[in-house]
Structure 1
Amino acid sequence: MWRVAIIGCGGSGKTTIARRIAGALGVPITHLDTLYYDDRWRPSSPEEFAAAQETLAAADAWVMDGNYASSMPIRLRRATHVIFLDLPALTCLRGIVQRRRRYRGGQHHQAGVYERITWEFLAYVWRYRRDMAPRVRALLAEHAGHAEVHIVRSRQAAARLADRLARQAACP
């Protein structure tokens, strides 16, 4: 069975890729933002968040999208496939603006994720490749050696990969 972890900066296209792959596999998607935050953006406790991921990761097949480096090992240890969307900051910021326009600043209806754009979040996106990507790579090296890992650096490459994995999944 396929267990796919999709990681990347805000605005990198995690949800889009997750939908394409989960649709091809016929498996549920878990958007980690909806697991971590309630509808008022109150975070769950680290223990609750980790326990929920442990339960979900124990399933035979899944697609999970989200970063959350502190709990990433939970997903990476069980994943059969990992997609790291390592896109440039400007591409991610453009994705955030497009998403905000598409949903008019509200909820991503399909994902159940609400927009929450703050200066802190924008700074995080801007510095992601410098500050977070090295940590993600280290976690991949430590916990995902058994998985098929894909590091993607453009939207076009991400689309091609999603299409290829969808075709692979369709051929048992």
Structure 2
Amino acid sequence: MKKILLIGSGGSGKTTLAKELSAKTGLPLFHLDAIYWRSGWVQTPKAEWISVIDRILQEPEWIMDGNYGGTLDQRLSACDTVILLDISPWRCLWRVVKRRLQYSGRSRPELAPDCPERLDAAFLWWIITYRFKRLPYNLAKLSAAEQSGKTVAILRTTAQVQRFLTEAPPNNSFKPKPLRSGNGVAG
């Protein structure tokens, strides 16, 4: 486990798990939100974004936290492990509201300066509909990744996330035990 991709709904805990895995394994961490968003919530131009992602993917080791569907295929191809956090939408909503209150008027540490925490109807709707609109697409991608030899873990509860983290040794030789789920993909 040297190239780990974390994906999931907003508020699912990707950033927190990525930080904890990086601290435990020593793998370098790349928060895609911090790379994509520039000061003032300005998007990185598409060509530059793809170039940056390509450079990171060439690194020998990494943990990458974020969705960004436009580069998902490249990231899935380059990773050896993918973790999908399929946490309840209600828990995700609670977490983003809590995060908004915690960082009101300020940027989170993993974002560029001058990107104060924000919460709008479109983001809330994306979280609410994630399981119906985005999750089936991601599960199909993960099934294909698993068939091509990637390690896939789908974590659906806080207890599963904690168990996964507990089982990770303090170096990057960890190979997670798949947790079986009802959808046929390790989870």
TM over 0.5: yes
Q: Which has the larger helix fraction?
A: 1
> Which runs of at least 4 in structure 1 moved beyond 6 Å after TM superposition?
none
Corresponding letter in the other structure for 1:75: R
Pairwise CA distance, 1:41 = 1.0
The share of aligned pairs that are identical, in percent, is 30
- Cα gap change, 1:76/1:141 in structure 2, threshold over 3 Å: closer, same or farther? same
TM-score (norm 1): 0.90
State the Cα RMSD in Å: 2.0
Partner of 1:18: 18
By relative contact order (CA 8 Å, sep 6+), the higher-ranking structure is: 1
**Farther-moved stretch of structure 1 (153-162 vs 97-106):** 97-106
Pairwise CA distance, 1:146 = 2.1
1:100 & 1:47 partners in 2: Cα distance? 31
Is residue 2:46 matched to residue 1:43?
no
Corresponding letter in the other structure for 2:167: R
Q: Structure 1, unaligned stretches of length 5 or more?
A: none
Is residue 2:100 matched to residue 1:97?
no
Whether the 8 Å CA contact 2:24–2:171 is kept in 1: the answer is no
- Cα gap change, 1:171/1:62 in structure 2, threshold over 3 Å: closer, same or farther? closer
Whether the 8 Å CA contact 1:14–1:65 is kept in 2: the answer is yes
1:164 & 1:62 partners in 2: Cα distance? 19
- Cα gap change, 1:130/1:31 in structure 2, threshold over 3 Å: closer, same or farther? same
1:105 & 1:90 partners in 2: Cα distance? 24
Q: Structure 2, unaligned stretches of length 5 or more?
A: 176-187
- Cα gap change, 1:120/1:168 in structure 2, threshold over 3 Å: closer, same or farther? same
Partner of 1:158: 161
Whether the 8 Å CA contact 1:69–1:136 is kept in 2: the answer is no
Q: 1:148 aligns with which of 148, 151, 155?
A: 151
Partner of 2:127: 125
* Greater C-alpha radius of gyration: 2
Corresponding letter in the other structure for 1:112: L
Partner of 2:7: 7
